[in-house]
């Protein structure tokens, strides 16, 4: 298997930048998602979803400790991006990233899973031979032999192949094949669809064709990564275009960009040379085309790359057994969970959701009155008081982290975590209201369900589904009111 040192470097830089950007986004919801005053305190986490691996975020309940680790993640991802102490920086970034995922699993999405897996594989690869502080900031023109060759470098193409092939295998519903209605149902989900996504629903037959093409591309397109350079280049750019298209019609946050950064690691040497010829930029062309030979890696680098093979075999077994719904050998399963290499590529599988909706929160005050509350000011600003519904679905869910959290909270298997959200909303309400009579006594949580019974037909509105009434935490002053 051949990889290009420059492609690995570009992927490392891109992923480092995305980790920094993601960390900044997470800081915006720091109190709600990572502190004891938020939606998931450590006691609630340990009771229902105890971390199975290293969780530095779980070592202390103090908010200052959690914030320090986020700042440290910013620093380590920046060091990874510029290639300073690269392997250590990647290791620290991976460790802090999986700690975040263990700390609040309810806000982890597919992009997070792909990111943490790729960070792990990069620990075993020479990603800093160019465009890094460790290499003396070697430019493309300084790389005389950028191609590295070994079967030990299968980790990256196999992981990306699994992302698509496993996803296609799990899409077993007739909505994908032969009906081709899956895209239409996906674009009916108010929580995800963008204005452009809504616009293209006026072409139902085109959507059916697109659905079948996407299914076939995921099923067969990944094999291009194991073919000669020209085919692999085509595969890389096809899937990058696919992710950019998905991001245009569905609000998927950083996932399309994480996938793009991972795909860039597979660009072969021939792709860089062809780009130099097409761009016809003399300096760029000179830098790229000087590289012709195969780079001879030090023996320790080859040995390190081979050390990843047992983990790759475990990942393959995990995906196969997950599809067959069979149990993995317990010590191996625990190792996978400890390293957070567990993965499930089931987005819109076996078919897209056919129901959607939104949460409604009613607070009972100590004076007997009721008031509606929201998890975030952005949710309040996207609420139509006259129609009693969100103005724009995906904006109502605030951002990807809140949306993922609320979608997960709707699942029956996560019902035990709803008390954390109820207590958080009570505390936030009480912070804004000083009079004892205006304090929150109870909070009722419900979900207004809409069901798509037919393809691209406006959904049927259902009754609110009661998700429980929770007593609010209060102090003695309030209880005496």
User: Residue 452 has what pLDDT?
Assistant: 67
Q: Is the pLDDT of residue 284 over 60?
A: no
Residue 316 included in any domain: yes
Asked if residue 178 and residue 76 are part of one domain, the reply reads yes
Distance CA 393, CA 395 (A): 5
Q: CA separation (Å) from 386 to 78, 134, 189?
A: 47, 60, 22
Predicted local confidence at residue 362, as pLDDT: 93
pLDDT category at 139 given cuts 50, 70, 90 is: low
212 assigned to some structural domain: yes
Whether residue 15 is found in the same domain as residue 127: yes
DSSP string over 228-256: -HHHHHHHHHHHHHHHHHHHHHB--TTHH
Please indicate, yes or no, whether residues 334 and 407 belong to a single structural domain of this protein: no
Does the structure show a pLDDT above 70 at 153? yes
Verify that 290 and 329 share a domain, yes or no: yes
Cα–Cα distance for residue pair 269/146, rounded to 1 Å? 7
Res 286: pLDDT: 56
Residue 453 and residue 354 in contact, taking contact as beta carbons nearer than 8 Å: yes
User: 105 and 35, same structural domain?
Assistant: yes
| Residue 146 is assigned to a structural domain of this protein | yes
User: How does residue 176 score in pLDDT terms, banded at 50, 70 and 90?
Assistant: very high
Q: Does residue 191 surpass a pLDDT of 90?
A: no
pLDDT digits (tens, 9 = 90+) for 419-450: 999 999 999 999 999 898 899 999 999 988 87
Q: How many CB atoms lie within 10 A of CB 322?
A: 17
Judgement on whether residues 460 and 334 belong to the same structural domain of the protein: no
What is the chain's mean pLDDT, rounded? 90
Q: How many residues does the chain have?
A: 481
Token look-up 């591309």 returns: 217
Does 197 lie in the same domain as 223?
A: yes
The answer to whether residues 310 and 26 touch, using CB atoms and an 8 Å cutoff, is no
Number of domains the chain contains: 2
Boundary-marking domain end, from 306, 339, 372: 339
Boundary-marking domain end, from 307, 339, 371:
339
- Whether residue 189 is contained in a domain is answered as yes
* In contact, 27 and 317? CB cutoff 8 Å: no
In the predicted structure, residue 289 carries a pLDDT above the cut 80: no
Is residue 465 included in any domain, yes or no? yes
Sheet holding 370-373, edge to edge: 370-373, 355-365, 440-451, 460-471
Rounded mean pLDDT of 152-164? 96
Within a domain: 352: no
Does a structural domain hold residue 344? no
Residues 335 and 402 in one domain: no
Does residue 274 share a domain with residue 131? yes
Does residue 61 sit within a domain?
yes
Lowest mean pLDDT among 24-38, 278-292, 360-374: 278-292
Shared-domain flag, residues 117 and 200? yes
- Both 188 and 299 in a single domain? yes
Q: What is the pLDDT of residue 449?
A: 81
d(CA 125, CA 143): 17
Helix, strand or coil, per DSSP, at residue 257: helix
Which residues does residue 384 pair with via DSSP β-bridges, in sequence order? 389
What domain range is 450 assigned to? 357-479
CA distances from 285 to 98, 229, 267, 430, 469 (A): 40, 19, 17, 63, 66
Q: Are residues 335 and 365 in the same domain?
A: no
Per the structure block, which two tokens stand in for 216? 């076939």
């Amino acid at each position: 298997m051949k990889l290009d040192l420059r492609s690995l470097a570009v992927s490392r830089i891109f992923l480092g930048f995305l980790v920094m950007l993601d960390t900044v986004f997470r800081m915006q919801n720091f109190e709600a998602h990572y502190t004891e005053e938020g939606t998931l305190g450590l006691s609630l986490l340990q009771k229902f979803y105890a971390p199975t691996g290293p969780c530095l975020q779980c070592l202390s309940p103090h908010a200052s400790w959690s914030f320090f680790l986020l700042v440290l993640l910013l620093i380590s991802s920046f060091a990874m991006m510029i290639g300073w102490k690269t392997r250590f920086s990647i290791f620290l970034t991976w460790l802090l990233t999986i700690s975040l995922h263990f700390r609040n699993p309810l806000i982890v999405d597919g992009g997070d899973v792909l990111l943490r897996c790729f960070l792990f594989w990069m620990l075993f690869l020479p990603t800093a031979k160019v465009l890094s502080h460790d290499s003396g900031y070697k430019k493309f023109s300084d790389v005389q032999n950028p191609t590295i060759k070994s079967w030990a470098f299968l980790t990256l193409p196999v992981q990306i192949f699994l992302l698509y092939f496993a996803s296609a295998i799990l899409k077993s519903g007739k909505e994908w094949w032969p009906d081709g209605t899956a895209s239409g149902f996906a674009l009916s989900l108010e929580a995800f669809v963008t204005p452009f996504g809504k616009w293209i629903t006026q072409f139902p037959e085109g959507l059916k064709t697109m659905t079948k093409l996407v299914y076939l591309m995921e099923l067969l397109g990944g094999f291009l990564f194991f073919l000669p350079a020209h085919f692999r280049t085509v595969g890389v750019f096809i899937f990058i275009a696919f992710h950019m298209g998905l991001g245009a019609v569905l609000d998927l946050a950083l996932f399309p960009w994480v996938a793009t950064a991972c795909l860039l690691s597979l660009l072969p040497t021939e792709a860089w040379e062809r780009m130099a010829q097409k761009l016809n930029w003399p300096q760029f062309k000179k830098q790229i085309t000087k590289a012709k030979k195969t780079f001879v890696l030090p023996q320790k680098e080859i040995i390190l790359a081979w050390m990843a093979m047992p983990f790759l075999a475990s990942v393959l077994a995990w995906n196969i057994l997950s599809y067959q719904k069979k149990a993995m050998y317990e010590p191996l399963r625990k190792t996978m969970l400890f390293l957070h290499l567990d993965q499930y590529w089931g987005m819109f599988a076996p078919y897209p959701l056919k129901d959607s909706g939104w949460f409604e929160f009613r607070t009972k005050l100590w004076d007997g009155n009721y008031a509606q509350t929201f998890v975030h000011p952005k949710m309040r600003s996207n609420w139509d008081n006259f129609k009693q519904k969100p103005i724009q679905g995906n904006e109502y869910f605030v951002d990807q982290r809140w949306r993922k959290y609320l979608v997960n909270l709707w699942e029956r298997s996560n019902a035990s975590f709803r008390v954390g959200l109820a207590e958080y909303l009570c505390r936030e309400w009480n912070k804004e209201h000083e009079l004892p009579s205006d304090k929150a006594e109870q909070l009722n949580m419900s979900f207004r369900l809409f069901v798509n019974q037919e393809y691209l037909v406006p959904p049927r509105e259902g009754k609110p589904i009661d998700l429980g009434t929770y007593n609010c935490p209060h102090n003695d002053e309030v209880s005496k009111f």
